[in-house]
Chain A
Amino acid sequence: MIVSQKRFRDTLQRIENPELSRLISDSVAFNSNLREGQNIPWKEFERLLDDFGSKPFDSETIIFEARSVDELRELLASQSAGRIIPTRESVRLERIVLKNFGAYQDEETLELSPRGEQNVTVVAAGNGVGKSTLFDAINWALFGEDFLQEMLSSKRKDRLGLVNYRAIDELKEKRIPEVESSAVLWFQVESERYYVRRRFSTTLLSSGELSSSLVTTSLYRVDPGGNHEPLDEDRLPALLSSLPKNVKEFYLFDGEHINRFASPGSQEAVMSAIRRILGVRLLERAQENSAELAKRFRSAFNRAAPKDAKELAEEEEAKRDLIKHREGEKDRLGKAVVELQGMIRQLEEKLRTAPDTSELQKRRDLLRQQAAAIQERRVESGGLLRKSMAGAFTTIAASAVSEFRAGLGSLKEKGEIPGQISEQLITELLEHGQCICGRHISEEGDVRERLLKELDRAQRMAPLRSSLLDIHARLGSVRALADSKCREAQRGYQGYLEETENLADVNSALEGISLELEDVEEIDRQAWERERAQKQHDLSTAMANVRSLEQQLKQDAAELKELERRLAEVAEKTRVAAELRRKAAWAEAASDALKAIVHEFATLARLDVERRTAALWHRLLPNTRQYEVEVTDGFELSVDSPTGAAGLSQLSMGQQHCLGLAFITSVAQASETLPPLVIDMPFGRLDSEVAATVATEMPSLTNQLVLFVLEGTEWNEQTRRALEPALARVARLRVDPATKNTHIRIQE
């Protein structure tokens, strides 16, 4: 892991929740195994949370806050300045072995490992002899195809361009069947020895053209007994975790370019360097992944969380209430059934044991009915009497009727009624002009005048006389009508009397029965029987209701069971959802804590790099003390001149070179990994005095230093003297004039 172990541990200790602290630590470790751009294997990442997801999580236990910059400065000051904290994962380069690679045909070996305190290997040669080939070979061995393609692209070569030209000649001359080019790098990680071999073959095609195979890579571990154990080549990046590809240029760099870190406009590179080398980026990725994981768990929670739990619970509660109510009703009805059965038994017992007065009661009822009927007939008789009463009274006016009729009869006998005879007679007399006695009736005589008057009177009285005649006739039937009315009245009266007598008889009989009934207790069996029938009806109804309730309760029980099953499902979903929720909470907490850690960690690292860079730069170039070095919050490397102006642009190339060197070594020191520094042309831009100073300081900057220097210019008496105390060996590259191949000659 590239993060500063100590700082990281210090930070984690401030998280009071030990589980969360462990989760963050595991999360960072997990992310450290991921290569840049590699997709997150979520299942693996989620597994990290499985240990925590099932535990209760109290968010209140996360009390971690990034400290202020001032506090961080104090924290930094409290640490021993410049103290190198060895890491367990540092890489040590042992040797590189080349064959048929560039200028090297025969197997050439360059030892690199420190010898005790002497940790510097110098490779000195003139231009074009093979320093850069060695430098490239080390990079190829470490970073494989990615580096190779990048390097070939920058140098506009193909892979064949790497093959030793003399070996090619031999291939073309068919003295050998193929040429195998290889670079083998031996290295140590935590005292374990490994080597990685990269190789490819070149053959001559029948067409006369050359063809190279794909590069094969082999990784071996060498145990203390000297046995070589093949390993999966995929393990190499993990072994070289302190030298990931994306930071190689900070440790294995071309000295010609060292100053670019200290050049104006290099902020992005500086920021990137610090973030990647110091592990800030790793922490950021851990934070981002934790946040993403929390989001995924929240999403899973939303999918898994049951929506209808409350409704189901309410439904279940309502169902239980209903069942309770129905059971209560059933109990009540059950009691009512028992009570009714008891009452029916009592009634039946009473009916069984009571004296039977039913016959008497029947007779009494019959007599009462008879009495009512008689009374009704008596009233009818009274009605008949009343209807004919007035008519019957007319019988006692019979004499008046007779006299009246007699009077009218006398008039009739005299012909005065209807009176038509006298009228006819007078008319005839007047027509004949002669009376019945023979007397002539003169036209103007008194007789005629009297007859005319009489005729006029008779004609006027004719209607009245007609009426009187009719009255006379009608009076003849009055008596008969009156008698008829009288008979009706008599029938009514007689009927009344008879029915009155009958009523008296019936009432007498009723009185006798009543007296008989008074002798026994008044028992209304019919009422009892009616009551028993009513009770039996009630009993049937109650029992039917009980059966109905039992049926409903049975159905309720089935529905309740179904509800319980659904609730169990919901509970299971709830449990799963709760677990997801807890995992989300853990991931969120880890994300939040990591965010704070990232901030603090980055700030601490930035300040550390800033402090170390300034100290080293000023030590290498005392005349730069007037400049203040700052790595800003935005990870920008800046140099302020005494006048306060931005100073980067005012620096000389040498100053920039030293600043870059100081920065790189400071980053290495701040990262606490202390990887080997492999620098091509470290003093190329420095004057001899400065180069000597740098050479003096450099061995103490890291545990292993490999310098590729230009014979004479860089590698001279001054630099040799400066490096001598730390010098493990000097390798000189010599060209065989005959073969033009380069050979490595070691001076130890």
Chain B
Amino acid sequence: MSIKVERASVHCESSDHELYKSLVSGGARNPLEVPFESMLEAFVAFACLGYHHSQYIPLNRSQEMTLSSYVDQDLDLFVLAALAYARLRTEDPDRSIEDTVTVLTTTKTIIPLVEGWANGGVQVYRESIANGALYPTLNLYEMLREAQVELAG
């Protein structure tokens, strides 16, 4: 077993909880209006977006939004670990790699480290959709495309 998926709460800023809920369909609503199938998917996407935009904003007033148990263990789990690693390395560049990675073998330590990235991604999203008129799904995809273009550039 590489990373233990333990039961751990995933938090967001309490003021963003409604936003998360509005973006998650549960699969029934029009996919163009609700871009994610679960809260954890939205969490992963916002974390990546926050990381891309170097926006790490620790939670002020946190609210549990879901549990880490539902995370995709092929892709999302390792991306979250990577984002946690990045946070640790940013916080303390002098810390040895060995010491850094030893804390990233369980979601219990990974998730809290990533919540700041996700919070930052939400804020980026909020700023982006302020002028957006398209469907949320299309807005997000456009943001992803822009980020990819930036990375490619």
Contact = CB atoms under 8 A, between A and B. Distances in A.
Interface of A: 379, 382-383, 385-387, 389-398, 400-401, 403-405, 407-408, 410-411, 416, 464, 467-468, 470-471, 473-475, 478, 481-482, 485-486, 489, 493, 496
B63 interface: no
Contacts of A416: 98
Given A385-B141, A407-B97, A407-B101, A394 B44 contact: yes
Nearest to B38: A390
Given A386-B34, A407-B85, A471-B2, 6 more contacts: A390-B42, A395-B148, A405-B82, A481-B74, A485-B75, A496-B138
A394 B75 contact: yes
Interface string B42-61: 10110111011000000000
A400 B83 contact: yes
B101 A408 contact: yes
A474 B78 contact: yes
A401 B75 CA distance: 11
Top 3 nearest A-B pairs (CB, nearest first) are A390-B41, A382-B31, A470-B2
B119 to A, nearest CB: 15
A481 B81 CA distance: 15
B75 A404 contact: no
A470 B77 CA distance: 13
A401 to B, nearest CB: 4
Contact of A411 (B37, B101, B105): B101
A397 B1 contact: no
Interface in B6-45: 25, 30-32, 34-37, 41-42, 44-45
Size category of the B interface is 35 or more
Contact of B144 (A393, A398, A474): A393
B31 A383 contact: yes
Given A390-B45, A485-B75, A400 B1 contact: no
Contact of B148 (A382, A396, A401, A410): A396
A485 B79 CA distance: 13
A335 B134 CA distance: 63
Contact of A396 (B37, B52, B81): B52
Given A391-B75, A396-B48, A464-B105, A489 B36 contact: no
Contact of B83 (A397, A471, A474, A475): A397
Contacts of B135: 382
Contact of A397 (B30, B37, B82): B82
A468 B44 contact: no
Nearest to B41: A390
B75 A481 contact: yes
B79 to A, nearest CB: 4
Which of A396, A489, A496 has the most chain B CB atoms inside 10 A of its CB?
Answer: A396
Nearest to A470: B2
Contacts of A473: 2
B97 A393 contact: no
A283 B151 CA distance: 150
Contact of A471 (B49, B89, B104): B104
Nearest to B141: A493
B133 to A, nearest CB: 15
B79 A397 contact: yes
B141 A389 contact: yes
30 contacts: A379-B30, A382-B135, A386-B37, A387-B37, A390-B41, A392-B144, A394-B48, A396-B49, A396-B144, A397-B48, A397-B52, A401-B78, A403-B85, A404-B85, A404-B104, A405-B82, A407-B85, A416-B98, A470-B1, A471-B2, A471-B78, A471-B101, A473-B2, A478-B79, A481-B75, A482-B75, A485-B75, A486-B148, A493-B138, A496-B138
Nearest to A410: B97
Contacts of B140: 389
A468 B101 contact: yes
A161 B101 CA distance: 177
Given A394-B79, A397-B82, A489-B144, A471 B105 contact: yes
B3 interface: yes
B137 interface: yes
Majority SS of interface residues in chain B?
helix
A400 B51 contact: yes
Majority SS of interface residues in chain A?
helix
A382 B31 CA distance: 5
Contacts of A411: 97-98, 101
B82 A403 contact: yes
B62 interface: no
Contact of B76 (A390, A400, A404, A464): A390
A390 B101 contact: no
A467 B1 contact: yes
B67 interface: no
Contact of B48 (A393, A464, A470): A393
Contacts of A474: 2, 78
A428 to B, nearest CB: 23
Nearest to B146: A396
B66 to A, nearest CB: 13
Which of B36, B48, B82, B135 has the most chain A CB atoms inside 10 A of its CB?
Answer: B82
A397 B2 contact: no
A87 B91 CA distance: 170
Given A385-B141, A416-B98, A397 B75 contact: no
B147 interface: yes
B61 to A, nearest CB: 25
B45 A386 contact: no
B69 interface: no
B75 A478 contact: yes
A420 to B, nearest CB: 16
B31 A386 contact: yes
B86 interface: yes
Contacts of A404: 81-82, 85-86, 101, 104
B3 A471 contact: yes
Contact of B35 (A379, A386, A481): A386
B123 interface: no
Contact of A467 (B75, B100, B105, B151): B105
B131 interface: no
Contacts of A391: 72, 75-76
Contacts of A394: 44, 48, 75-76, 79
A442 B3 CA distance: 41
A389 B45 contact: yes
B102 A393 contact: no
A383 B26 CA distance: 12
Contacts of A398: 151
B137 A385 contact: yes
A471 B107 CA distance: 13
B30 to A, nearest CB: 7
Contacts of A464: 102, 105
B23 to A, nearest CB: 10
A478 B83 CA distance: 13
B147 A396 contact: yes
A478 B138 CA distance: 24
A387 to B, nearest CB: 6
Contact of B86 (A393, A395, A400, A408): A400
Contacts of A482: 75, 79
A403 B52 CA distance: 14
Contacts of B82: 397, 400-401, 403-405, 475, 478
A286 B128 CA distance: 135
